[in-house]
């Protein structure tokens, strides 16, 4: 006499095969997502590396810019520009920036998100997708002692005088449009 145990099916049934197929699809999807996220993270790291190069150059130039024999006369400190100074006048950030973009290796940087030169922005805004990889350079002005905030950050623009020892903060915008602080330094 045959029992019900004699008719058991050995191996996976169709539901098991469907579940295993689903698992394979999930593993492939997670792997592809990991690869895409890794490539995007490399782009963010390249943007941070661009920012670190700017910090290194400005820090190095800042150590000698108050000396008479500075290598970067357009970035020289201590010479106050005229009250009606134009953005490219000596003693302004505009003249210093133009000098940096003509003579330094920083002119060859690439924003890996768009494969163009990185640009400077006023703020990193998450809703603006064109700011990925952009550089934000802010002048940190100290507030009076006892203030709730130690400084006020303002964007460094072309007409700003650079005749004093400046405290700067450099940030880069990530893929989501948020600022990633690279460094605070003296220039």
pLDDT digits (tens, 9 = 90+) for 161-187: 898 899 999 999 999 999 999 999 999
pLDDT at 125: 95
Task: Give the model's confidence band at 141: pLDDT under 50 very low, under 70 low, under 90 confident, else very high.
Answer: very high
Report whether pLDDT(83) > 70.
no
The residues pairing with 169 across neighbouring beta strands, listed in sequence order, are 138, 184
What are the domain boundaries of the chain?
Answer: 16-186
Sheet bearing 135-142, strands edge to edge: 151-155, 135-142, 167-173, 179-186
Q: Where are the beta strands (DSSP E) in 46-175?
A: 135-142, 151-155, 167-173
Classified as helix, coil or strand, 63 is helix
Calculate mean pLDDT across residues 19-41.
Answer: 96
| CA distance readout (Å), 58 to 30, 72, 100, 131, 181 | 42, 11, 9, 22, 16
Q: Which residues contact 164 (CB under 8 A, 6 or more apart)?
A: 77
Report whether pLDDT(82) > 60.
no
Q: Compute the chain's Rg from CA coordinates.
A: 28
Q: Strands 179-186 and 167-173, how do they pair?
A: antiparallel
4: DSSP letter = G
pLDDT by residue (tens digit) across 85-138? 565 567 889 999 999 999 999 999 999 999 999 999 999 999 999 999 999 999
**Minimal CA–CA distance to 87: which of 101, 73, 98, 102?**
98
pTM, to two decimals: 0.81
| CA distance readout (Å), 165 to 14, 87, 140, 145 | 74, 19, 11, 19
Euclidean distance between the first and the last CA atom of the chain, given in angstroms as a whole number? 96
């Amino acid at each position: 006499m045959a029992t019900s145990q004699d008719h058991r099916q050995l191996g996976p049934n169709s539901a098991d095969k469907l579940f295993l197929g689903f698992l394979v699809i999930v593993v492939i999807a997670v792997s592809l997502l990991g690869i895409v996220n890794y490539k995007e993270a490399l782009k963010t790291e390249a943007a941070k590396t661009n920012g670190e190069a700017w910090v290194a150059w400005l820090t190095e130039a800042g150590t000698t810019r108050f000396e008479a024999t500075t290598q970067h006369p357009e970035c020289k400190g201590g010479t106050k520009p005229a009250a009606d100074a134009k953005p490219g006048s000596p003693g302004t950030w505009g003249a210093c920036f133009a000098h940096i973009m003509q003579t330094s290796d920083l002119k060859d940087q690439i924003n890996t998100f768009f494969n163009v030169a990185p640009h400077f922005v006023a703020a990193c805004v998450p809703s603006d997708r064109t700011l990925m990889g952009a550089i934000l350079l802010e002048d940190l002005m100290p507030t009076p002692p006892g203030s709730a905030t130690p400084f006020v950050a303002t964007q460094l623009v072309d007409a700003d005088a650079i005749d004093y020892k400046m405290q700067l903060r450099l940030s880069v915008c990530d893929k989501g449009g948020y600022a990633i602080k690279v460094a605070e330094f003296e220039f």
